[in-house]
A and B are shown apart, each in its own frame.
Chain A
Amino acid sequence: MELVLSILVGVLVAAAIYLMLARDLMRFLFGLILISNAANLAIFTSGRLTTGAPPLITPGSDFPAEGAANALPQALVLTAIVIGFGLFAFALTLTLKAYKRLGTLDTSEMRVAEPRDDA
C-alpha cells in the first residue's frame, strides 16, 4: 500500500502546484490545502504502514502490542495538521483582506508592495 499512497501523494502534489500557479488567489488556497494534506500523508507513509493496532498500551501490559503502528510520525502529523490549519486560516484571512482593499483576487494585479517597473 505504500506504493499506492506514494503515487497518491504525487497526484496531490501535482494538483496542488497546478492550482497554486493559478492567478486566482482562491485557487491558490485550494492548492495550499491539498499540498498540506500531501505533506501529512508523506510523513505518515514514510513511517511505514501497519494495518490495525494503534499505538496504545492496553491496561495490564507495559508496552504496545507487537506490530502496533509507528507512533512517531503520528505525533508529527497530528501537530502538522493543526499548524497547517492555522496557516490556511491565516492565508484565507489575508486573501479576504486583500480582496477588500484591492478589489481583485488576481495575483498579477496585486502590485502594492512591488510595483511594476514600467509603472
Chain B
Amino acid sequence: MAPSQDNASPQGASQAFAGWISVALASALFALFWQALGPIGAGEVLRFERPWVPSLGISLSFLIDGLSLTFALLITGIGALVMLYSTKYLAGHPHFARFFLFLTLFMMSMLGVVTSDNLLTLFVFWELTSITSYLLIGFSHSGADSRRSALQALLVTGAGGLALLAGIILLGWAAGTYELSEIRAQGDAIREHALYLPILILFLLGAFTKSAQMPFHFWLPNAMAAPTPVSAYLHSATMVKAGIYLMARMHPTLAETDVWLWTLTIAGASTAVFASFMAVRQTDLKQILAYTTLMALGTLTLFLAADVGYAITAAMTFLIVHSLYKAALFLIAGIIDHSTGTREIDRLGGLARAMPITTAAAALAALSMAGFPPFLGFIGKELKYAGALAVQSEPYLVAAAVLLANALMLVAAGLVAFRPFWRGTHSTPKTPHEAPWRMLAGPVILALLGALFGLNSDLIAVPLVEPGVKAISAGELKPAELKLWAGVNIPLILSGVTIALGVVLLFLHNPMRKILAGIEARMPWFDRGWDNLLDSFKTVASWQTRILQSGEMRRYVYTVFATLLIAVGGTLIYKGAWAGLPAIPDLEVKHWVVTLLIVAGTALVTVTNSRITAIAGLGAVGIGVALIFIIYGAPDVAITQLLVETLVVVLFAVAALRLPTLKPGDGFPNRKLDAVFATAIGAVVAAILITVTTGPIDLRLTAFFEQASWLEAYGRNVVNVILVDFRALDTFGEIAVVAVAGIAAWSLLKGQTSDPEPDGEDAK
C-alpha cells in the first residue's frame, strides 16, 4: 500500500473527492434510516410503492420493518465507517475511485435487497450484490488468485441466484402475487401447497450459497482475496447475511415445517462446528476471521430453523453483535497488515506498545466476540444458549454444538486480538506504527458500540430486536428480554463452561492446530472439487465444440438443412396438413415461357463447369423471377430485381477476373447423396408452399394498408407507403443492414490487414 499522499496531486484531489462523497452518501442514508427508528420501535411498518412492470406484477415496492431497518442501519452505518477507513487504506491506489464506485453500488444494491417488498425486485438487487461482490473480490485483478476467487464466488452465488429466481417464480405462481407483504399472510396455504417442497429447496439453495452454508461454504474463505475493507463489509457484516435475511424474511411463509427445521438445523450446526475448528487451524488473520464468519452464519441459520421466541431473539441479537465485532476485527486485521506488512499470527506479537488504540479496540471487540460480560456478545451468547435449549429439534445436541463453537470462538478471539498485541515479540517486514484516525474510527466506534449496547441493551432491544422478531415471526412470537443479569440459570452455567473450555483450548492451541491440520489433509477438499467440476465443464464444452464445429463447411450446410428437413417436413407430416396436389391450372404461354426460362437457367448453373455459362444461367433465373413479378402486378419489385440482377452480373464479372476457374466435377466424384438430400429439401419446401397457398389467407393487414395508404399516409403507391411510412422502422433496420454489408465489404477490401505468411502451415 502506498503511503498516504492522497491530497498532494490533482488526481489525488479527485480521488479524495470520490472517497468523501461515498462516505457522505452512506452517512446521509444512515441518518435517513435513523429517522425510522421511532416509528418502527412504536410497532409501525413503512411501505412505499410505485409500479415498474405492471404487466408482470413487478412493482418497486419497499417495506421497512424491524428486520429491514436493522439490516439497513448495519449496511449504511458500517458502510460509512468502512468507506472512511478505505479513504486511507487505499490512498494512492490507481483504481481508488473505481473501488468507491463498486462499494457504493454494492451498498445501494444491498439496501435494495433488504428493503424490497417485491420478490422480483428483491431478486434484481440480490443479483446486483453478487455482481458487485465479484467486482470487489477481483479488485486486484492482476492476481490470478483474485480472479479465480472472484469467479468462484460469482458462479456459486450466481447459481444459487438462479435457483432463487426459479423459487420466486414458483412461489409467485402459488401465491398469486410477488408482493412479500401479501405472501406473508398466506403462510399456511403455501405450506399446504403441492409446490411447497420445490419452493423451499430453491429458496434455501439461494440462501445457502449466498450465506456460505455447507456444502457451499468454500467460496467465502477464498473471497478474502478482496481488499480487507471489502472483507469487513461484504464478507462478514452485510452481503453474506443476505441469505440469512432471506431465510428470516421467508420465515413466516416457509418455516414451521419439519423439512425447514431439520434442513436448517443440520446445515447450520455442521457449518458452525466445522468452521470453528477450521478457524482455529488457520494462521492468517483474515482466514481466521473468515472461518469465524462462517461459524456465525451457521449459528444464525441454526437459530432461524426454530420457531420459538428465544431462538429468533438470539438470531436477531447475534446478527447485530456479530456485525459489530466482526467488522471491527476485520478492520483491525487490515490495520495490522497495513502497518506491519504481514497477517501471519506466528510473526506477530507485542504490538501493544506501538499501537495502543488499535490494541484497545481489538480487546473490546474480541471480548464481545468471546462473549464476556458486560459486552453485547455476552447477552448474545446467553440468548444463544436459551434459544438452543428451546429449539424443537434436538435441544441438547444443538446446545452442545453451540457450546463447542463458542469455546472455539473464544480461542479465535484470543488468536486475533490478543496474541499479536501482547505475547512475545514481532518479526514483521515493517516497523509497526499506530494507524491514522480515519482507519481507527471504524474499529473504535464499532467496538465501543458492542460495550455500550451490552451495558444498556434497551438501546437496541426496543427499536430493532423486538420489531425484528415480530417481523420474522409475523408477530406470533414473543421476543425474549435482553439482559446482562438474569440470575443463575442454565445459560449462565453454560457460559461459564464455555469460558473455561475456551481458555483451556487457547493454551492447547498449538498441538490442536497440528491435529486439525492432519485431519484437514484427509478430508475431501471442496475447493479442489470445485476446480474438478469446472474442468469437467470445460471438457464437455470442448468435446461438443469438436462435434459441432468440425470446420467442414459441407457439414455445416448439411446440419442446417437437415434440421430444416426434419423440423418442417416432420411438422408437415405430424400435423397431417398436406391436402394433396390441387388441380393443375390452365396456363398461358407466357407462364410456361417464364417457368421454362427459370428451370433452364437453374439447370445450367447446376451442371456447367464454365463460369461465364453459370453467370448467364443466373441472369436467366433473375430475369425470369423479375418477369414473374411483372406478370403478377409488382412493378416496384420487378424493377428492383432487374437492377440487382445487373449488379450481380457486374460484380461476378469483376470478381471472376481474380478467381480461379471452376474445377470440373468439383474435384470429388460422388455427389449422389448430395443430390438426393437437396432434392428432398426442395420437395419439402415445395410441399409446404403448396399447403400454404391452398389454405386460407388472412388479408386484414393488406386491407388496412390499402385503406390507409392514401387517406392517412397520402401516398398512392401502397408498396412504397408500407416501406417508408407504415413499416419505416423495419426499413430503417434493413437499410442499416445494407449499409453495414457495404461498408464491411469495403473495409475488408481496403483494410490493411496484416497478411499471415501466405500459403503457410494453415493453408496446407
Assembly CA distance A92 to B701 (angstroms): 37
Map CB proximity to A onto B656-700 as digits: 1 under 8 Å, 0 otherwise.
001110110011100100110111011101110110111001010
| Bound-state Cα–Cα, A101 to B152, Å | 42
From B581, B611, B641, residue with most partner A Cβ within 10 Å: B641
Q: Across the interface, do A70 and B699 meet the contact criterion of CB distance under 8 Å?
A: yes
CB-nearest residue of chain B relative to A53?
B633
CA A75 – CA B651 in complex, angstroms? 25
B742 → A minimal CB distance (Å): 7
Task: Compute how far the CA of A99 lies from the CA of B738 in the bound complex, rounded to whole angstroms.
Answer: 24
Query: Bound state CA distance, A77 and B626, in angstroms?
Result: 12
Find the A residue at minimum CB distance from B747.
Answer: A93
Instruction: Tell me the complex Cα distance, A103–B666, Å.
Output: 16
On whether the beta carbons of A54 and B558 are closer than 8 Å, the reply is no
Number of interface residues of B (CB under 8 A): 106
The digit string for B738-764, where 1 denotes a CB below 8 A from any CB of A, is: 100110110011000001101100111
The reply to whether B557 and A21 contact each other, CB–CB distance below 8 Å, is yes
Say yes or no for B525: interface residue by CB 8 A criterion.
no
**A30 to B685 CA separation, bound complex (whole angstroms):** 19
Which residues does chain A contribute within 8 Å of B737, judged by CB atoms?
83, 86
Selected contact of B561 from candidates A10, A15, A17, CB within 8 Å? A17
B48 to chain A, nearest CB (A): 48
Interface flag for B144 (CB, 8 Å): no
Contact between A78 and B723, CB atoms less than 8 A apart:
yes
A57 touching B718 by the CB < 8 A rule? yes
Which residues on the B side are within 8 Å of A44 (C-beta)? 628-629, 632, 634, 637
Main secondary structure of the interface of B (DSSP, over half): helix
Q: Is the CB of B749 within 8 A of A75?
A: no
Q: Mark A96-119, 1 if CB is under 8 A from B, else 0.
A: 110111111111111111111100
Contacts of A104 in B (CB 8 A): 763
User: Which of B70-78, B335-343, B493-501, B583-591 binds A?
Assistant: B583-591
B192 within 8 A of A: no
B536 sits at the interface (CB 8 A): no
Interfacial residues of chain A within 1-38, with CB under 8 A of chain B in the complex: 1-24, 26-28, 30, 33-34, 37-38
Question: Which of A1, A4, A96, A115 has the largest count of B CB atoms less than 10 A from its CB?
Answer: A1
A7 to B, closest residue via Cβ: B686
Tell me how far the C-beta of B110 lies from the nearest C-beta in chain A, rounded to whole angstroms. 44
Counting chain A CB atoms within 10 Å of each CB, which of B689, B693, B722, B744 scores highest? B689
Give me 14 other A-B pairs in contact (C-beta within 8 A), A15-B602, A17-B561, A89-B745 excluded: A23-B554, A23-B667, A26-B662, A50-B632, A62-B710, A63-B710, A81-B641, A83-B737, A88-B648, A88-B651, A92-B651, A99-B659, A101-B756, A112-B756
Chain A interface residues (CB < 8 Å from chain B): 1-24, 26-28, 30, 33-34, 37-38, 40-42, 44-59, 62-64, 68-72, 74-75, 77-79, 81-90, 92-97, 99-117
